[in-house]
Structures are given as structure tokens and as C-alpha cells.
Amino acid sequence: MSSPLIGLTGGIGCGKTEVARIFERLGAIVIDADRLGRHVVESDAAVRSEIRRAFGEAFFDFQGRLQRQLLGTFVFSNPERVKQLNAIVHPHLLQAMRARIDETQKNNPPMILVDAALIYEAEIADTFDKVIVVTADEKIRMTRIMARDQIQSEDAMLRIRAQMPIEEKERRADYVLTNNTSLVDLNRKVEALFDTLVNNNKR
């Protein structure tokens, strides 16, 4: 029996990374698509060249390394730029992600969880047995983004608006985890969902 393959997504600032940590503590193998994407960009000169052609030299340091935060601030101010960047990175990222999933399946873990912000935008939801969406109220999301990224409220709102509306993700989800309260409450919800997903796979 193969391990259940679960997609984890949600809006920026909803607490998706914390949910992934809890799943990992419970025994899931977590594939972090954002980290994988960084690795793809850092290790693949062709991807960096495409980014350079699309957005210019200003987003690279003197050693040729991509300045991700600088590029992010520029890109998230315009939905068309977001699409342009995703079109460059996504094909390479999806290839790396599928290879990582195949490799991980060989070890037959209780669950494989792919933590990926753009499951619906990249139209890869069908890759997974189930998709979980993490959601939170907008004010809470903005507070978290501002604290994490050290940015102003206007920039935080731009990052929220650059993504698919969270209500649309909730509508498409198999499971919705609301993260408006305490870490204790979130742990309880994730533990219950982990049990459901693993036990359903055994039937």
C-alpha cells in the first residue's frame, strides 16, 4: 500500500508552515515546495538566466545570486509579474517535486505531505489524494506577514492580493484548517486530521 500523498496549501500568513511542522512531528514526511523552489533557482543556471532576462540584473548581487526578497517586493506589486515568474520557475519545480515524491514513496512513510502555496494556481491538485487548505482571518494574516517579513501593511496586503482568494481555495479543498486561535488548538486539529488521513488510507 502506497503512502497517502497529501497537498498542503493556503494563503500567505495563514500558518501553513506551522501546520506542516506538526504533521512532520506526527510522522509525515514533508516536502517543502518553497525550499525546493529555492534549490532549483540556486542550482540551475538556466532558471536564473530566464529570471535575469525577464526582470533584469538589478535583482542579482555581484556574485550572481538572486536577491529573493528584493525580487519578491517587485513581483508581488503586479499580478502579471507573479504569473511571469511562476511560468519560469514552476516547470522546473514540478519536475523536482515529482522526483522527490517518487524517491520518498520508496520508504513507505505513514504520509507524504507536500507543502506548496500554489497547488491550485499551478493546477496540480489532481496530483494528490487529498488537499488541505489552511485559512485565517485577513487581519491576523496581515499581522503575521508584517512581523515575519518586516514589511509595512500595504506590502502585506499586496502579497495577499497577489494570490488566489482564500475563499476559492477553501471551496476547492478536501479539508479546511482554520488557524485563528492558539497553537494548542491548531495542534489538536492537525492531530485529528492526521489520524483521519492515515486511517482512511489503511482501509
Assess whether pLDDT exceeds 70 at residue 191. yes
pLDDT tens, residue by residue, 32-53: 998 999 999 989 999 999 999 9
CA-based radius of gyration for the chain: 17
Nearest CA among 116, 138, 87, 77 for reference residue 146: 138
pLDDT tens, residue by residue, 134-161: 999 999 999 999 999 999 999 999 889 8
pLDDT tens, residue by residue, 167-187: 999 999 999 999 999 999 999
Amino acid at 124: I
- Which grid cell is 106? 520508496
Neighbours of 200 (CB within 10 A): 11
pLDDT tens, residue by residue, 92-134: 999 999 999 999 999 999 999 999 988 998 889 999 999 999 9
| Separation of alpha carbons 67 and 34, rounded Å | 15
pLDDT at 201: 72
Q: Where do the domains of the chain lie, and which CATH numbers do they carry?
A: 5-202 (3.40.50.300)
| Sign (positive or negative) of CA dihedral 83, 87, 92, 96 | positive
Q: How many Cα atoms sit within 13 Å of 111 on the Cβ side? A: 29
pLDDT at 59: 94
